Structure 1
């Protein structure tokens, strides 16, 4: 890994984008930072570079959203997230992650289509939240996909958005859930050799960009009206879902 001008030209905007997404818009598109870094470094190393930065963003955004989450909802998804991370660690080197990218991409895009269809009256369904077991299941899927590609945001959004939370409750839940999941991921990543002296240097160099992104994300969260917030969340969900499908198929 060469920490040259080309690396920082690609990595710095990607890390700022991850901070904005995680800090203000539910983490849905933050996984793209690892995909962008994979353009200039080996994909496994990209995952190792990004995880500590995501954890730094988590730490920076816990305080602004402290206590604004729903403990019961977050606990369900965290309970599912732990076995999901364990499964990811077990199958990381044995399973083709593109299969899961396509699956999660289809679920993400399909969920938004369903929500739009309901709001337009094209699809008639019960307006109830998804059952709790779906929360545990999506937590497991989020833990797994977060482990293999930092792409836990879309499956988590499927359950969280079905509860119709306020924008701040939604954001706070994602902060708490992924703080826990990223902590779960750290030790298996270390055992898999994803952290090196080079990734540590890259982390120190990129940390200011992560904090800048987190600050911008929190500011944007409070400035953007609730209707626009969820519209943007759905747009990001479609974009990330489409990107996952594209990556999986190509």
Structure 2
């Protein structure tokens, strides 16, 4: 289908810029800089298109990225924690799927904005720092796993809830990374089913995903390079400021939409 016929995703300058920037940041995050900055993908794209469409375009790309990461961390994960997180996340995905049609675009922008701003504020002020002294138990894993499944379904933003549960576990860095990789690989592939059932994978969204795969691959490569050349602290400072600004704009748009 010619690009000129893809009216649902106009390739104007701003939409293309925000989409490319989002994919580069997601790729850089998965490529070695870490920090869960994949949460920035949907908020950036949602500035120029409906949030649901942004999530649908991004999901197949995330699935490809996940396979690349899964190979690197094969069988290094903690099954003990995944047995709690994954079933709970599936429940959260089901809830997200059944409530999907009740969300207006402004509602999703409001929710995505809250997640983005909350993630940035948590990075700066660490309100959950008090959890570091104790390890969350099974109930905590089930609770945060379900929240992660729901927020991941809505906006591919399951990172913050999972981090709240996993970071206090004080896992080895490689085990922690492998555990999150397998968790999000499983969650993203499960999400393909309800996304397809809800009609999110039309020719426009899938075609756009395919076209943008090289950008995502370049982002992963760039992440590997930056991992050894750019101070991680400086990268995060810039990224989280961008996340806060983007989230604030979505919050404003979401609140304004409540009165329409």
After TM superposition, the score normalised by the length of structure 1 is 0.79
Counting only pairs closer than 5 Å after superposition, residues 51-66 of structure 1 correspond to structure 2 as 51-66=59-74
Q: Secondary structure at the match of 2:214?
A: helix
Q: Secondary structure at the match of 1:92?
A: helix
Q: Secondary structure at the match of 1:139?
A: helix
CA deviations over 1:205-227 (Å, ceiling 9, x no partner): 11112122233435656x49xxx
TM-fit CA distance, 1:62: 0.8
Counting only pairs closer than 5 Å after superposition, residues 177-216 of structure 1 correspond to structure 2 as 177-216=183-222
Between 1:173-182 and 1:66-75, the stretch displaced more is: 66-75
Counting only pairs closer than 5 Å after superposition, residues 1-250 of structure 1 correspond to structure 2 as 1-4=9-12, 6-26=14-34, 28-95=36-103, 96-97=107-108, 98=110, 102=114, 106=118, 109=121, 113-114=126-127, 127-218=133-224, 223=228, 244=247, 247-248=250-251, 250=255
Distance 1:154 1:168, change over 3 A: same
TM-fit CA distance, 1:13: 2.5
CA deviations over 1:36-85 (Å, ceiling 9, x no partner): 12223232211110111111110111111112211111222111110000
Distance 1:15 1:5, change over 3 A: same
Gapped regions of structure 1 (runs ≥ 5): 119-124
CA distance in 2, matches of 1:11, 1:99: 20
Give the aligned length. Answer: 240
Q: Secondary structure at the match of 1:31?
A: helix
TM-fit CA distance, 1:8: 3.3
After TM superposition, the score normalised by the length of structure 2 is 0.77
Distance 1:67 1:9, change over 3 A: same
CA distance in 1, matches of 2:77, 2:233: 17
Distance 1:231 1:83, change over 3 A: farther
Gapped regions of structure 2 (runs ≥ 5): 1-8, 256-260
Q: Secondary structure at the match of 2:179?
A: helix
Q: Secondary structure at the match of 1:30?
A: helix
